[in-house]
Structure 1
Amino acid sequence: MEITLIEQLEERLRQAMLKNDVSALEELIADDLVFTTHTGELIDKQTDLEAHRSDTQKLVLLNGQQQQVKVYGNTAVVTVKMEVAGTFEGKAFVGIYRYTRVWAKSQPQGNWQVVAGHVSQVGD
């Protein structure tokens, strides 16, 4: 079932983010990604990959809760509340965030990739 596949891809994405595995992230993120950060900044795939490649962003905790996956044909929408900890530009941070990610199945290869996303900081 597609929901199980998307859940597995979400876990691969989470592990790749924790390990700064740029190769895996390259595969999981679409070339035309549009992602809105918690500050409202729009970033693209290359900006996201560079943050991992350069260790500008180093995540040590991504603990997901309340994950929901909805599949609409060749598109899936994932929402998850995530406890996040790490460093950004050398400064430690910890917080609770809610992510929304849109996965799309590319044609003709049929690979699922993240095409859009948004993250907001939330309370407990």
Structure 2
Amino acid sequence: MTKEEILNLENRLYKAIKESDIKVLDELLHEDLLFVAPNGDVITKEIDLKTYRDGELNISELTPEVENLNIIDDLAVITLTIDLKGSYKAAPFGAKFRYIRFWKASAEGIKIVGGSGTQIGV
């Protein structure tokens, strides 16, 4: 696992989020994913994919800025800020968020196993 691999996976993730590409999201998210959403809800892989399948989340703009990326054995920890614009359940939003994401290498490849997002600005 290298920093370059993780940054490439992050870029695939951003594209999949913007395009609501459920196939790619399914590939990148680990079956046992746990993610704390900005509203405090704990999200599983199935909940996350359902949000995209049902069209509840639509992202029109996504501008990431990586802050830190550490590789620890078979785990990568990345922190970043993302300016997001879009709509959730038809309500428009636009804000700046800080995310932490955990990528883990396994027999199935490198996948997101956990993370969290917090709004830090408008």
TM-score, normalised to structure 1, is: 0.94
> What code does the residue aligned with 1:86 have?
G
SS for the counterpart of 1:27 is: helix
Moved over 3 A (4+): none
The question of whether the paired residues in 1 share the 8 Å contact of 2:104 and 2:113 is answered with yes
SS for the counterpart of 1:84 is: strand
1:24 corresponds to 2:24: yes
Aligned length: 122
CA distance in 2, matches of 1:106, 1:65: 27
TM-score, normalised to structure 2, is: 0.96
What does residue 112 of structure 1 align with?
110
Question: Which deviations, in whole Å up to 9, do the C-alpha atoms of 1:59-79 show, x marking residues without a partner?
Answer: 111101243211001000011
Identical-pair percentage:
29
CA distance in 2, matches of 1:53, 1:20: 8
> What code does the residue aligned with 2:116 have?
H
In structure 1, runs of 5+ residues without a counterpart are none
1:114 is displaced (CA, Å) by: 0.2
SS for the counterpart of 1:83 is: strand
1:94 corresponds to 2:72: no
> What code does the residue aligned with 2:52 have?
H
CA distance in 1, matches of 2:115, 2:55: 21
